[in-house]
Amino acid sequence: MENDEKYKLKKVLIICSKGTLEDVYAALVMGNGAVMEGIETKMFFTFFGLDAITKKYMNKLHTSTVGNPSMRMPGGLAFPTMLGGLPGVEAGVTSMMKKEMEKLDMPPVDEFLELIEAGGGEIFACKLAADMFKLKKEDFHETVKDIITVGDLYALCDGPGTQIIFT
Amino acid sequence: MATKTYAGVNIEVNDEGYMTDSSQWTKEVANEIAKEEGIELTDKHFEVIEYIRNKVAAGKSLTIRGINKSGVVNAKIFYQLFPGAPLKKATKISGVPKPVSCI
Protein backbone atom coordinates (compact mmCIF):
# COMPACT_ATOMS: atom_id res chain seq x y z
CA MET A 1 0.00 0.00 0.00
CA GLU A 2 1.32 3.40 -0.90
CA ASN A 3 1.66 6.04 1.74
CA ASP A 4 1.91 9.59 0.40
CA GLU A 5 1.98 11.25 3.77
CA LYS A 6 4.83 13.71 4.13
CA TYR A 7 6.87 13.85 7.30
CA LYS A 8 8.47 17.08 8.34
CA LEU A 9 12.19 16.80 8.95
CA LYS A 10 12.65 16.97 12.70
CA LYS A 11 16.19 15.88 13.37
CA VAL A 12 19.39 15.61 11.36
CA LEU A 13 22.65 13.93 12.09
CA ILE A 14 25.44 15.30 9.97
CA ILE A 15 28.60 13.23 9.68
CA CYS A 16 31.79 14.94 8.56
CA SER A 17 34.65 12.58 7.76
CA LYS A 18 36.94 14.81 5.74
CA GLY A 19 39.17 17.64 6.79
CA THR A 20 39.45 19.81 3.71
CA LEU A 21 38.09 23.32 3.98
CA GLU A 22 35.21 22.73 1.59
CA ASP A 23 34.12 19.42 3.11
CA VAL A 24 34.08 20.87 6.61
CA TYR A 25 32.19 23.97 5.52
CA ALA A 26 29.63 21.89 3.65
CA ALA A 27 28.90 20.13 6.94
CA LEU A 28 28.93 23.34 8.98
CA VAL A 29 26.65 25.24 6.62
CA MET A 30 24.15 22.38 6.62
CA GLY A 31 24.37 22.02 10.38
CA ASN A 32 23.92 25.71 11.06
CA GLY A 33 21.15 25.88 8.46
CA ALA A 34 19.31 23.06 10.18
CA VAL A 35 19.59 24.74 13.58
CA MET A 36 18.25 27.94 12.09
CA GLU A 37 15.25 26.09 10.68
CA GLY A 38 14.44 24.78 14.12
CA ILE A 39 15.57 21.25 13.27
CA GLU A 40 17.25 19.31 16.07
CA THR A 41 20.86 19.01 14.95
CA LYS A 42 23.70 16.66 15.88
CA MET A 43 27.08 16.79 14.22
CA PHE A 44 29.54 13.90 14.27
CA PHE A 45 33.15 14.41 13.25
CA THR A 46 35.28 11.42 12.38
CA PHE A 47 38.61 10.55 10.74
CA PHE A 48 40.16 13.59 9.06
CA GLY A 49 37.00 15.51 9.84
CA LEU A 50 38.33 15.65 13.40
CA ASP A 51 40.61 18.47 12.25
CA ALA A 52 37.53 20.70 12.18
CA ILE A 53 37.06 20.37 15.93
CA THR A 54 40.70 20.04 17.00
CA LYS A 55 41.82 23.34 18.52
CA LYS A 56 45.24 23.15 16.90
CA TYR A 57 43.98 22.70 13.34
CA MET A 58 40.39 23.94 13.16
CA ASN A 59 41.14 27.41 11.82
CA LYS A 60 43.95 26.25 9.57
CA LEU A 61 42.05 23.94 7.23
CA HIS A 62 43.14 23.85 3.61
CA THR A 63 41.49 23.18 0.34
CA SER A 64 43.13 20.46 -1.72
CA THR A 65 44.64 21.61 -4.98
CA VAL A 66 45.62 18.17 -6.20
CA GLY A 67 43.19 15.75 -7.84
CA ASN A 68 40.33 18.21 -7.86
CA PRO A 69 39.07 18.54 -11.45
CA SER A 70 36.53 21.18 -10.46
CA MET A 71 39.20 23.58 -9.34
CA ARG A 72 39.85 26.28 -11.91
CA MET A 73 41.98 29.38 -12.23
CA PRO A 74 40.22 32.68 -11.66
CA GLY A 75 38.51 33.24 -15.02
CA GLY A 76 37.69 29.57 -15.52
CA LEU A 77 40.85 28.14 -17.09
CA ALA A 78 41.77 24.57 -16.10
CA PHE A 79 44.07 24.21 -13.12
CA PRO A 80 46.70 21.53 -13.85
CA THR A 81 47.14 18.96 -11.09
CA MET A 82 50.93 19.28 -11.45
CA LEU A 83 50.68 22.96 -10.54
CA GLY A 84 48.63 22.14 -7.47
CA GLY A 85 51.56 20.25 -6.02
CA LEU A 86 53.99 23.17 -6.12
CA PRO A 87 54.98 24.68 -2.78
CA GLY A 88 52.75 27.53 -1.71
CA VAL A 89 50.00 26.88 -4.24
CA GLU A 90 47.72 25.14 -1.77
CA ALA A 91 48.22 27.95 0.75
CA GLY A 92 47.50 30.58 -1.89
CA VAL A 93 44.35 28.87 -3.13
CA THR A 94 43.18 28.35 0.46
CA SER A 95 43.68 31.98 1.30
CA MET A 96 41.68 32.98 -1.79
CA MET A 97 38.87 30.62 -0.83
CA LYS A 98 38.81 32.05 2.69
CA LYS A 99 38.67 35.59 1.36
CA GLU A 100 35.68 34.75 -0.83
CA MET A 101 33.97 33.02 2.09
CA GLU A 102 34.55 36.00 4.34
CA LYS A 103 32.83 38.19 1.73
CA LEU A 104 29.71 36.07 2.17
CA ASP A 105 29.95 36.46 5.95
CA MET A 106 30.90 32.82 6.47
CA PRO A 107 32.50 32.62 9.91
CA PRO A 108 35.76 30.86 10.79
CA VAL A 109 35.33 27.25 11.92
CA ASP A 110 35.42 27.93 15.69
CA GLU A 111 32.90 30.75 15.43
CA PHE A 112 30.66 28.60 13.21
CA LEU A 113 30.67 25.80 15.81
CA GLU A 114 29.81 28.34 18.53
CA LEU A 115 26.85 29.59 16.49
CA ILE A 116 25.61 26.03 16.03
CA GLU A 117 25.97 25.35 19.74
CA ALA A 118 24.21 28.62 20.62
CA GLY A 119 21.21 27.41 18.64
CA GLY A 120 21.10 24.11 20.52
CA GLY A 121 23.06 22.00 18.04
CA GLU A 122 25.29 19.30 19.53
CA ILE A 123 28.78 18.44 18.39
CA PHE A 124 30.44 15.06 18.87
CA ALA A 125 33.79 13.46 18.11
CA CYS A 126 34.20 9.86 17.01
CA LYS A 127 35.87 7.69 19.65
CA LEU A 128 37.57 5.32 17.26
CA ALA A 129 39.11 8.11 15.19
CA ALA A 130 40.07 10.07 18.31
CA ASP A 131 41.86 6.97 19.64
CA MET A 132 43.55 6.48 16.31
CA PHE A 133 44.81 10.06 16.11
CA LYS A 134 45.61 10.06 19.86
CA LEU A 135 43.28 12.94 20.60
CA LYS A 136 41.63 13.61 23.96
CA LYS A 137 38.71 15.73 25.06
CA GLU A 138 41.06 18.62 25.92
CA ASP A 139 42.44 18.65 22.37
CA PHE A 140 39.00 19.41 21.06
CA HIS A 141 37.20 22.74 20.92
CA GLU A 142 34.98 23.56 23.91
CA THR A 143 31.83 23.20 21.78
CA VAL A 144 32.50 19.45 21.49
CA LYS A 145 30.02 17.84 23.82
CA ASP A 146 31.44 14.37 23.99
CA ILE A 147 33.52 11.65 22.36
CA ILE A 148 31.12 8.88 21.39
CA THR A 149 31.02 5.45 19.76
CA VAL A 150 29.11 4.42 16.66
CA GLY A 151 26.53 2.80 18.91
CA ASP A 152 25.99 6.07 20.77
CA LEU A 153 25.69 7.80 17.43
CA TYR A 154 22.86 5.58 16.24
CA ALA A 155 21.14 5.95 19.59
CA LEU A 156 21.00 9.71 18.90
CA CYS A 157 19.04 9.07 15.71
CA ASP A 158 15.82 7.86 17.29
CA GLY A 159 12.39 9.15 16.41
CA PRO A 160 10.49 9.59 13.13
CA GLY A 161 11.57 12.44 10.87
CA THR A 162 15.28 11.84 11.50
CA GLN A 163 17.80 11.86 8.67
CA ILE A 164 21.50 11.07 8.54
CA ILE A 165 23.62 13.11 6.18
CA PHE A 166 27.13 11.97 5.34
CA THR A 167 29.35 14.60 3.79
CA MET B 1 -0.58 38.25 -2.80
CA ALA B 2 -3.05 38.50 0.04
CA THR B 3 -4.20 40.94 2.64
CA LYS B 4 -4.36 40.29 6.33
CA THR B 5 -5.84 42.40 9.05
CA TYR B 6 -3.46 43.14 11.89
CA ALA B 7 -4.33 45.65 14.61
CA GLY B 8 -7.30 46.81 12.56
CA VAL B 9 -5.20 47.65 9.51
CA ASN B 10 -5.17 45.82 6.18
CA ILE B 11 -1.62 44.63 5.62
CA GLU B 12 -0.28 43.23 2.36
CA VAL B 13 1.47 39.90 2.81
CA ASN B 14 2.90 37.22 0.52
CA ASP B 15 1.95 33.54 0.47
CA GLU B 16 4.20 32.83 3.44
CA GLY B 17 2.78 35.67 5.50
CA TYR B 18 5.70 38.08 5.11
CA MET B 19 4.74 41.73 4.77
CA THR B 20 5.39 43.06 1.29
CA ASP B 21 5.27 46.75 2.25
CA SER B 22 7.65 47.37 5.12
CA SER B 23 6.29 50.90 5.62
CA GLN B 24 2.99 49.46 6.84
CA TRP B 25 4.80 48.05 9.87
CA THR B 26 3.94 49.33 13.36
CA LYS B 27 4.62 47.97 16.83
CA GLU B 28 0.99 46.93 17.10
CA VAL B 29 1.22 44.97 13.85
CA ALA B 30 4.42 43.32 15.12
CA ASN B 31 2.68 42.30 18.33
CA GLU B 32 -0.10 40.58 16.40
CA ILE B 33 2.19 38.76 13.98
CA ALA B 34 4.28 37.64 16.97
CA LYS B 35 1.18 36.27 18.67
CA GLU B 36 0.51 34.13 15.59
CA GLU B 37 4.06 32.80 15.96
CA GLY B 38 3.48 32.12 19.63
CA ILE B 39 5.77 34.90 20.85
CA GLU B 40 4.99 37.64 23.36
CA LEU B 41 7.17 40.61 22.44
CA THR B 42 9.29 42.33 25.08
CA ASP B 43 11.52 45.42 24.91
CA LYS B 44 14.46 43.14 24.05
CA HIS B 45 12.52 41.76 21.08
CA PHE B 46 11.93 45.29 19.85
CA GLU B 47 15.63 46.12 20.11
CA VAL B 48 16.34 43.16 17.84
CA ILE B 49 13.51 44.12 15.51
CA GLU B 50 14.89 47.65 15.25
CA TYR B 51 18.33 46.25 14.40
CA ILE B 52 16.82 43.99 11.71
CA ARG B 53 14.72 46.77 10.19
CA ASN B 54 17.70 49.14 10.07
CA LYS B 55 19.90 46.50 8.45
CA VAL B 56 17.34 45.69 5.81
CA ALA B 57 16.61 49.36 5.16
CA ALA B 58 20.34 49.85 4.59
CA GLY B 59 20.27 47.04 2.02
CA LYS B 60 22.49 44.75 4.09
CA SER B 61 21.92 41.01 4.26
CA LEU B 62 20.99 39.32 7.51
CA THR B 63 22.97 36.40 8.88
CA ILE B 64 23.10 34.72 12.25
CA ARG B 65 26.74 35.77 12.46
CA GLY B 66 25.78 39.41 11.95
CA ILE B 67 23.17 39.17 14.68
CA ASN B 68 25.68 37.53 17.03
CA LYS B 69 28.02 40.48 16.48
CA SER B 70 25.31 43.14 16.47
CA GLY B 71 25.90 44.17 20.06
CA VAL B 72 22.11 43.98 20.56
CA VAL B 73 21.92 40.25 21.31
CA ASN B 74 24.19 37.27 20.99
CA ALA B 75 23.15 34.19 19.03
CA LYS B 76 22.10 32.25 22.11
CA ILE B 77 19.67 34.92 23.33
CA PHE B 78 18.43 35.43 19.79
CA TYR B 79 17.48 31.74 19.63
CA GLN B 80 15.71 32.11 22.97
CA LEU B 81 13.81 35.22 21.91
CA PHE B 82 12.56 33.68 18.65
CA PRO B 83 12.53 29.94 19.31
CA GLY B 84 12.32 27.48 16.44
CA ALA B 85 13.40 29.22 13.29
CA PRO B 86 14.75 32.49 14.71
CA LEU B 87 15.73 34.49 11.64
CA LYS B 88 12.59 33.53 9.74
CA LYS B 89 10.33 34.45 12.64
CA ALA B 90 12.21 37.62 13.52
CA THR B 91 12.08 38.93 9.95
CA LYS B 92 8.39 38.10 9.66
CA ILE B 93 7.64 40.02 12.83
CA SER B 94 9.92 42.86 11.71
CA GLY B 95 7.89 43.30 8.52
CA VAL B 96 10.85 42.69 6.21
CA PRO B 97 11.33 40.01 3.49
CA LYS B 98 12.40 36.50 4.40
CA PRO B 99 16.20 36.35 4.34
CA VAL B 100 17.68 34.62 1.31
CA SER B 101 21.08 33.80 2.82
CA CYS B 102 22.06 30.20 3.67
CA ILE B 103 24.00 31.34 6.71
pLDDT value at residue A44: 98
**What separation in angstroms does the CA of B97 have from each of A46, B54, B64, B82?**
38, 13, 16, 16
Tell me, what's the pLDDT at A153?
A: 94
CB contact under 8 A, A33 and B66: no
What amino acid occupies position B3? T
The secondary structure of residue B7, as a DSSP letter, is T
Please say if the pLDDT value at position B70 is more than 90. Answer: yes
For the segment B36-60, the average pLDDT, to the nearest whole number, is 96
pLDDT digits (tens, 9 = 90+) for A1-54: 567 778 889 999 999 999 999 999 999 999 999 999 999 999 999 999 999 999
The count of other CB atoms within 10 Å of the CB of residue A7 is: 10
Contact call for A115 and B85, based on CB within 8 A: no
Predicted TM-score (pTM) of this structure? 0.92
pLDDT of residue A167: 84
Chain B residue nearest residue A118, CA to CA:
B76
pLDDT of residue A80: 87
Percent of chain B beyond pLDDT 90? 86
B41 and B93 in contact (C-beta within 8 Å)? yes
**What residues of B act catalytically?**
102
- The predicted model gives A70-80 an average pLDDT of 87
pLDDT in tens, A103-154: 888 999 999 999 999 999 999 999 999 999 999 999 999 999 999 999 999 9
* pLDDT-derived band at A95, boundaries 50, 70, 90: very high
CB nearest B68 (choices: A38, A115, A120): A115
Show the 3-state SS of chain A: CCCCCCCCCCEEEEEECCCCHHHHHHHHHHHHHHHHCCCEEEEEECHHHHHHHECCCHHHCCCCCCCCCCCECCCCCECCHHHHCCCCHHHHHHHHHHHHHHHCCCCCHHHHHHHHHHCCCEEEEEHHHHHHCCCCHHHECCCEEEEECHHHHHHCCCCCCEEEEEC
Domains of chain A: 11-64+112-166 (3.40.1260.10)
Calculate mean pLDDT across residues A73-79. Answer: 87
Residue at B103: amino acid letter:
I
Distance from CA of B85 to the nearest CA of A (A): 4
Question: At residue B32, does pLDDT exceed 90?
Answer: yes
Which residues of B fall within a CB distance of 8 Å from A38?
83-85
What is the per-residue pLDDT for A1?
Answer: 58
At residue B103, the pLDDT reads 83
What would the mean pLDDT of B56-63 be, rounded to a whole number? 92
| Secondary structure (DSSP) of B37-81 | TT----HHHHHHHHHHHHHHHTTPPP-HHHHHTSSS--HHHHHHH
Give SS3 for B12: strand
Chain B residues touching residue A115 (CB < 8 angstroms): 64-65, 68, 75
